[in-house]
Amino acid sequence: MAKRSVGLPFSRLLLNRALKNPMGAAYHGFYPSARTPNPSLLGRPFCSTSTPTAVRHLLAKLEMEKHLKLMESDSDEKLIDVNRTRNARQNGLEEALTLYEEMVGSGIFPDVVTYGSILYGLCKHGKLSEGKLLLREMGKMGMNLNNVSYTILLDALFKAGKVAEALMTLGCMIVRGNNFDVIACTVLIDGFFKNGQIKEAEYLFCNLYQLNLVPNYITYSALIDGRCKLEDINGAESALHEMEEKDCVPNVITYSSMINGYVKKGLLHDAFKVLRKMVNKNAMPNIYTYAILLDGSFKAGWQDIALDLYSKMKQGGLKDNVFILDAFVNNMKRSGRMEEAEELVAKMASGGLKPDLVNYTNLMDGFLKSGKVSSALNLAQEMTSKNVVFDIVTFNVLINGLFKLGKCDTGSIYSAMREMGLSPDLATYNTMINGYFKKGNWKSALELWNEMKSRKLVPSAITCNIMINGLCEAGRMENAIDILKEMGLMGLYPTSTTYRILLNISSKSRRADTILQTHELLVNMHLKVDKDVYNILISHLCKLGMTRKATAVLKDMEERGFIADTTTYNALIHGYCISSHLKRAFMTYSTMLSERVSPNIETYNLLLGGLSKAGLIHEADDLLSEIKKRGLVPNACTYETLMCGHCKVGNTKECLRIYCEMVIKGFIPKPRAYNMLIGYFSKMGKMKQANELMNEMQTKGVSPTSTTYDILICGWCNLLKMPDLGRTLKISYRAEAKRLFIEMNDRGFVPSESTLACISSTFAAPGKKADARMLLKSTYKRKRE
């Protein structure tokens, strides 16, 4: 049975009750020092507040007062025990608990400060149930539970995602008559934001002055961080401006939160402006600030800027940490440079950095995505030898990769999990179900779906989306609709992913009314209409060239308060380029710049494609210069688009130059790029060079396509038409054409009409060419069917 969720009305009721009796904060004016945050890289939380540190500082202050009182009363026995407890808190939780039992056994009952130290230790080590019991025991003993004790527990519960328990603790705090101080309010604001209770966080912040509390820089940092994570960048900017107007000085955490917000939105220019601003104000960036910017720069394709930033970080005396390693490994993983990634991990490890579980998991994921199973398994053995314990996430990454490559089945997975003492979770089932769908085995996927429910595992929206997508691709629309209905019965609503899956299906009709009907259907099923949903709808309409409909959707989106971002503008530019409205595409690009939305490399690739399609190759070269001026690095798609443009206007020398530059930069061309060059050499009669290119593409792991074979076969056949061709060469050319034709057939490719014509004219006996061509056409017609 699903847990009952605590709704917003209950939390609002608690806050209203607190606000009816506002008093000055117990420790008003106490400004705790901030602890270093963790940026949101690879799912790690970016905590902008530092209440636990604040509480520790407060505890230390109160403990000192306690010690002075004890010294004045000459209670040596109590002084020794309290000091021992304090030392134990520093040395280890277990020792602290042992000493606590000794104190109680000796008839010495700790005071609220000592209890607070133990409570903090329990919460820090994730022992929240024990922490709640301890707080209850303190209340039973008649202790005056202060805000510090409640704040410690509240902070821990919110961070563990236990909102209902946090609100119950908040209710107890209010019932006991405790008054909110700025530290408690900061914890609540941060906790509400982190757990999706946005209205409550904003409501509490707006009512701080009613509590006679003045927000400090930590409170503002929590507000800014919360708004940034919601991509409310305007709200975050407004909070920062208000903070500065009130002479509340932002620190490195505040600025890092802003940078994180800009990076998430793709506004890297603004992120670097904040970096320059914080340096000018002597709030020097820390390792986490650099990690955020490095990761964002790599994702945007700003390779040179990222490396320059890393160099400045090292010059500033900052040492690499696991987040920096994450940024580099993820970048190399995206471009398939796994050998470099492995070397980097080894280099940083030899320099004293200890890679953590997330680093190893990322590296393993990269190996598996590159098809390097042996490297992934070797890494798993290395982790075991270094006592890096697998968790369910790492295990799921491993089986996901192996399953996709067809290297394991459910039986071997269950066996391996039992050996590791792990139980399959939702992610495990998601991986296996998805794996079966990839193999085309929808029946086994349905069996796993039923097995999961029989084990009392409640499917998530992700599981449902995998099922709906797999069943749709298998043509099992009735089963997919059944899953969609079942989602509603389980209290799950369609997500943006569900929306994308079903819009992909409806888009195959190439009718706007069908697409919009699907949209309305899912909205009626309680789909949350947000910017992502609008972007998906605009993108699907634009891919079909329906830019007028897409513009109408954009207008509706803006009227609802959603601001167009890079994804929105890219979709519109794509639509205009498809429908050959190049001027409108560039007008959209100009609007994008005026609205301070940063274009990414995809934006420019779309524009380059439009220019190349129109034969405006000089304008395309000018745009390439602008790309480089903006600090963006051309990717494989950029080079291929330019190659296509130059080939189209017959500028083969420039096409070859771009190809060479692309290869030197480490990019592996796609079949389309190879086919362009092979086509050029075939046309020129340089079949030896054409064959060499085909061999090169296979060496680099790029499989030839049907078009590759069509070009080469026709090229060799055309050479046979040359006058005065010697008998030896004729035999050689015919043999090569025949070899390629057989190889093409073995690979399951169907020759084009022109290839069939070439083969029949080359190999048929005199006077039998028409019959040979008819026979070949009928053979491959059956094959197509």
Q: Which of 462, 385, 399 is nearest to 435 (CA)?
A: 399
CA atoms within 13 A on the CB side of 680: 21
Map tokens 């979770």 to a residue: 425
Least reliable range by pLDDT among 34-43, 146-155, 329-338, 709-718: 34-43
Residue 18, pLDDT > 80, answer no
Q: Which of 355, 421, 420 is nearest to 388 (CA)?
A: 355
Residue 598, pLDDT > 70, answer yes
Task: Please check whether residue 557 is in contact with residue 573, taking contact to mean a CB–CB distance below 8 angstroms.
Answer: no
Structure tokens at 583: 């001027």
Classify residue 701 as left (phi > 0), alpha (psi -120 to 50) or beta. Answer: left
Show the CA angle centred on residue 210, arms to residues 207 and 214, nearest 5°.
Answer: 80
Burial of 230: CB neighbours in 10 Å, binned 0-12, 13-18, 19+: middle
Task: Please check whether residue 713 is in contact with residue 740, taking contact to mean a CB–CB distance below 8 angstroms.
Answer: yes
Task: Please check whether residue 359 is in contact with residue 345, taking contact to mean a CB–CB distance below 8 angstroms.
Answer: yes
Helical residues (DSSP H) of 336-493, grouped into ranges: 338-350, 357-369, 373-385, 392-404, 410-420, 426-438, 442-454, 461-473, 477-489
pLDDT, tens only, 203-216: 888 888 888 888 88
What crossing angle do the helices spanning 512-524 and 531-543 adopt, rounded to 10°?
A: 160
Could you tell me what percent of the chain has a pLDDT over 70? 84
pTM: 0.55
Least reliable range by pLDDT among 70-74, 217-221, 631-635: 70-74
The rounded distance, in Å, linking the Cα atoms of 502 and 185 is: 43
Show the CA angle centred on residue 572, arms to residues 567 and 576, nearest 5°.
Answer: 145
Residue 551, pLDDT > 90, answer yes
Q: Which of 230, 228, 212 is nearest to 220 (CA)?
A: 228
Within a 10 A sphere around the Cβ of 377, how many other Cβ atoms? 16
The rounded distance, in Å, linking the Cα atoms of 785 and 783 is: 5
Q: Which of 447, 409, 445 is nearest to 430 (CA)?
A: 445
The rounded distance, in Å, linking the Cα atoms of 301 and 722 is: 48
Task: Please check whether residue 760 is in contact with residue 777, taking contact to mean a CB–CB distance below 8 angstroms.
Answer: no
Phi, psi of 250 (to 5 degrees): -65, 150
Residue 395, pLDDT > 60, answer yes
Structure tokens at 594: 């005026």
Map tokens 């270093």 to a residue: 36
Position 698 scores a pLDDT of 83
- In angstroms, how far is the first alpha carbon of the chain from the final one? 51
Residue 192, pLDDT > 50, answer yes
Q: Which of 544, 543, 638 is nearest to 600 (CA)?
A: 638
Task: Please check whether residue 542 is in contact with residue 575, taking contact to mean a CB–CB distance below 8 angstroms.
Answer: yes
Residue 389, pLDDT > 90, answer no
The rounded distance, in Å, linking the Cα atoms of 166 and 619 is: 60
pLDDT, tens only, 333-364: 887 788 888 888 888 888 888 888 898 898 88
In this structure, what is the dihedral angle of CA atoms 489, 490, 496, 498, given to the nearest 10 degrees?
A: -70
Map tokens 């390629």 to a residue: 740
Kindly give, in sequence order, each residue whose CB lies less than 8 Å from that of residue 549, ignoring residues fewer than 6 positions away.
512, 516, 541
In the structure, what pLDDT confidence band is assigned to residue 765 with cuts at 50, 70 and 90? Answer: low
Could you tell me what percent of the chain has a pLDDT over 90? 20
Span 443-449, average pLDDT: 90
Residue 24, pLDDT > 60, answer no
The rounded distance, in Å, linking the Cα atoms of 284 and 604 is: 34
Position 164 scores a pLDDT of 82
Span 121-142, average pLDDT: 80
- Residue 243 is which amino acid? M
Select, from the ranges 248-262, 403-417, 502-516, the one with the highest average predicted confidence (pLDDT): 248-262
Position 183 scores a pLDDT of 86
CATH T-level assignment (fold) for domain 48-178: 1.25.40
Within a 10 A sphere around the Cβ of 593, how many other Cβ atoms? 11
Span 390-400, average pLDDT: 81
Span 519-545, average pLDDT: 88
Kindly give, in sequence order, each residue whose CB lies less than 8 Å from that of residue 628, ignoring residues fewer than 6 positions away.
634
Residue 768, pLDDT > 90, answer no
Position 458 scores a pLDDT of 87
Span 651-668, average pLDDT: 85
Task: Please check whether residue 466 is in contact with residue 499, taking contact to mean a CB–CB distance below 8 angstroms.
Answer: no
- Does residue 707 or residue 701 have the better pLDDT? 707
Map tokens 């914080």 to a residue: 278
Kindly give, in sequence order, each residue whose CB lies less than 8 Å from that of residue 185, ignoring residues fewer than 6 positions away.
204, 205, 208, 211, 213, 215, 219
DSSP H or E segment with residue 708: helix 706-719
Task: Please check whether residue 682 is in contact with residue 715, taking contact to mean a CB–CB distance below 8 angstroms.
Answer: yes
What is the DSSP code string of 320-378?
A: P-HHHHHHHHHHHHHTT-HHHHHHHHHHHHHTT----HHHHHHHHHHHHHTT-HHHHHH
Task: Please check whether residue 654 is in contact with residue 621, taking contact to mean a CB–CB distance below 8 angstroms.
Answer: no
Task: Please check whether residue 324 is in contact with residue 344, taking contact to mean a CB–CB distance below 8 angstroms.
Answer: no
Structure tokens at 773: 């061509």
Average pLDDT of every residue of the chain: 80
Position 586 scores a pLDDT of 95
Burial of 455: CB neighbours in 10 Å, binned 0-12, 13-18, 19+: exposed
Query: Measured between alpha carbons, how far is residue 624 from residues 490, 601, 608 in Å?
Result: 51, 10, 8
The rounded distance, in Å, linking the Cα atoms of 221 and 773 is: 75
In the chain, where the domains are located: 48-178, 672-785
pLDDT, tens only, 709-742: 999 999 998 888 888 888 888 889 888 888 888 8
Span 276-305, average pLDDT: 90
Span 691-697, average pLDDT: 89
Position 16 scores a pLDDT of 55
Residue 248, pLDDT > 50, answer yes
Task: Please check whether residue 726 is in contact with residue 734, taking contact to mean a CB–CB distance below 8 angstroms.
Answer: no
Helical residues (DSSP H) of 544-634, grouped into ranges: 547-559, 566-578, 582-594, 601-613, 617-629
Structure tokens at 351: 């320099």
Kindly give, in sequence order, each residue whose CB lies less than 8 Å from that of residue 409, ignoring residues fewer than 6 positions away.
none
In the structure, what pLDDT confidence band is assigned to residue 257 with cuts at 50, 70 and 90? Answer: very high
Q: Which of 191, 113, 193, 172 is nearest to 148 (CA)?
A: 113
pLDDT, tens only, 631-646: 888 888 999 999 888 8
In the structure, what pLDDT confidence band is assigned to residue 33 with cuts at 50, 70 and 90? Answer: very low
Task: Please check whether residue 533 is in contact with residue 505, taking contact to mean a CB–CB distance below 8 angstroms.
Answer: no
Structure tokens at 42: 């690879």
Position 409 scores a pLDDT of 65
